[in-house]
A and B are shown apart, each in its own frame.
Chain A
């Protein structure tokens, strides 16, 4: 059963003195999938990745690669390779030597090395880059060479430590698609860590959202976006309007909430039986879930005044302020251009359904946005 997974962590804990960087993490990554670990900086994701690579040993728990425990196996004997944050290409070698480095360490004969290096360079789309110096490559090319250097070794798992962080925005968007494509073609299991939710959502089959050393939620990108299980996930993944309030009542399907800023909303219960009357909760509504000039009789509705129109093509939005309480909100503009005439100072009526309103007990500490 365990061989189904390329990589497994069982109750992995890592503490530094009295600081717990990674707190009881268990995960199982199926063969050939693109798995991302998404979290804010300092959440322990790099520590987790370094434990997978073998640069740090877990305080307790077990790490298995292809069903075999790798505890005590040094990094140079693990069947995983890592693409470093700043790529760590060897400047003292040319591109071909960089790619050949791992094969040489394995004692592969020269003819095979040359052949494999050429194959791998072709696979990442840089067949003629071999004799070039590292300093002659562009950012995107360096990226591909860093990946080629690992792929040539046929690792069971490829670990990527925010490798797109150093690229400029445009190249980053491009590399996102390219990386996903590449992973799809070669079928190697990728474990990708990032603090950029867009990278994680676009590329991954599965995303684990990590916060303060723990996994908040593991699931498909759609799952995380539409069905967040914790306040942190709801706030961290995607844009959200957020309120603080207390539970007033409700039934098995709905929760009525009195907002701290005044007013009342009805949220989906979503099986959260622990939310009882009087409890403090955080309420989240996605900007695109809110209808402008919504029909009468919607579950939740309020009037607001437009502060700003943020036109950005398909991703345009309005910054609005609720009339009664002054609470600031963001509302997505429909892509049809139906409300193109809305301008700052206009009063609009907003509405959204119970299904689109989520609330979570707010005792779990502050979540970043």
Chain B
């Protein structure tokens, strides 16, 4: 009697849980798993003639055979890692200042100032940089007015411009986890570090950074993923020479209408980002669960 009751109760509970989890499961299945499965299948076939397809690895072979493709691939990875490191190097002191040096109102104001640029879209922010950096832009005009430059200076369409845009775009995603993790660091630990003879460098290295490691790792993962998968910023600030891997994917899908090759590229990008995040976690001795949680 009681056994049947508990069984029906159990199944009712399970059904309720399923119902609650349904939006998440649907989202995962329809928008993540299903497209990726299809992407994988598409990437593993070759178009023989109109409407006729055959299993083949030609799309992946093509990627390795054509230097432009894997050069772009490696370049995107290296630039993304560099952008992540730069974001960390700039974001860490900013976060430390917000979390540990500022007190009260000033702290909130500074944090808000980091947030405000993200109230406008990435497109608008990138155009803002174009207004500053282009040949007829603000900085170029200022340099001419100040007599430092003789003629108009073009600062757009190079790697530095891409890097500036990427770091600027990613900054918030580094600062937020860092501020929260540094906020949780007890001030007396820092004071104890100084009291026992440490200086700014050793206290940062031995106490602040080890404490902040989960925040650093999660910030870096988010920034790296966003940067690697970014299309807008490299394209607008880097122009035709930007050679970002997402642009290759776009070209395959839209310009060449070669969905097979585009899918293969998409998959390669997924493998690249997963591999680099995994290596990063191994190197920093962090686990994904403790970084995310």
Contacts and interface: CB of A to CB of B under 8 A. Distances in A.
B192 A76 contact: no
A101 B193 CA distance: 8
Please give me the 7 A-B residue pairs with the lowest Cβ-Cβ distance, nearest first: A105-B197, A102-B196, A92-B210, A88-B192, A88-B188, A84-B188, A75-B194
A97 to B, nearest CB: 9
B75 interface: no
B290 to A, nearest CB: 13
B30 to A, nearest CB: 43
Interface stretch (B50-58, B63-71, B199-207): B199-207
Nearest to A159: B195
A53 B186 CA distance: 18
Given A88-B186, A90-B207, A92-B210, A105 B192 contact: no
A82 interface: yes
B161 to A, nearest CB: 39
Interface of B: 186, 188-189, 191-199, 202, 206-207, 210-211
A106 B188 contact: no
Contacts, number: 59
Contacts of B188: 84-86, 88
A150 B197 CA distance: 10
Given A84-B188, A86-B186, A53 B195 contact: yes
Given A101-B206, A105-B196, 12 more contacts: A75-B195, A76-B198, A76-B199, A77-B197, A82-B192, A86-B186, A86-B188, A88-B186, A88-B188, A90-B189, A91-B211, A101-B196
Given A75-B191, A86-B186, A102 B211 contact: no
Q: Give the one of A54, A55, A105 with max B CB within 10 A.
A: A105
Interface of A: 53-55, 74-77, 81-82, 84-86, 88, 90-93, 101-102, 105-106, 149-150, 153
B63 to A, nearest CB: 43
B194 A74 contact: yes
A54 B194 CA distance: 10
A149 B196 contact: yes
16 contacts: A55-B191, A55-B194, A82-B191, A82-B192, A82-B195, A84-B191, A84-B192, A88-B188, A88-B192, A90-B192, A90-B206, A92-B210, A101-B206, A105-B196, A105-B198, A153-B196
Q: Give the one of B194, B197, B206, B207 with max A CB within 10 A.
A: B197
A105 B189 contact: no
A352 B141 CA distance: 93
A92 B207 contact: yes
Contacts of B197: 76-77, 102, 105-106, 153
Contacts of A54: 195
A76 B186 contact: no
Nearest to B190: A88
A81 B194 contact: no
Contacts of A53: 191, 195
A144 to B, nearest CB: 16
A163 to B, nearest CB: 12
A88 B211 contact: no
A81 B196 contact: yes
A150 B210 CA distance: 22
A9 B198 CA distance: 25
A157 to B, nearest CB: 12
